[in-house]
């Protein structure tokens, strides 16, 4: 079963562009526009550690954007 993303609504403003596509990458969802990766959506609710360090917030939860 494929993972569902709660923040997928963030792609709505660009998803009708003919060059838009997305693909799964590293447990997230990479988004491309005009041949360039512009966003990666990562959601891992409840995960609060990364590389042996603990945090008070969920790690890898949000959108990385390169506009």
Reported pTM? 0.68
The answer to whether residue 4 sits within a structural domain is no
Q: Kindly tell me if the per-residue pLDDT of 46 is higher than 70.
A: no
Containing domain of residue 37, as a range? 18-65
Question: Is pLDDT of 67 > 70?
Answer: no
* Of 47 and 13, the one with more pLDDT: 13
Cβ burial, residue 9 (10 Å; 0-12/13-18/19+)? exposed
Q: What single-letter DSSP state applies at residue 42?
A: E
Does residue 7 fall inside a structural domain? no
Note whether residue 60 is domain-resident: yes
pLDDT for res 26: 78
Within a domain: residue 27? yes
Domain presence at residue 49 = yes
Q: How many structural domains comprise the chain? A: 1
Q: Is residue 31 part of a domain?
A: yes
Looking at per-residue pLDDT, the higher value among 43 and 41 belongs to 41
Mean pLDDT of 34-43: 88
What value does the mean pLDDT take over residues 33-51? 82
């Amino acid at each position: 079963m494929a993972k569902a993303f709660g923040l997928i609504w963030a792609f709505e403003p660009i998803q009708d562009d003919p060059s838009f596509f997305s693909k799964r990458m590293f447990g997230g969802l990479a988004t491309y526009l005009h041949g360039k990766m512009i966003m990666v959506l990562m959601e891992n609710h409840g995960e609060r550690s990364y590389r042996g360090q603990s945090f008070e917030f969920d790690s890898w939860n949000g959108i990385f954007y390169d506009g």
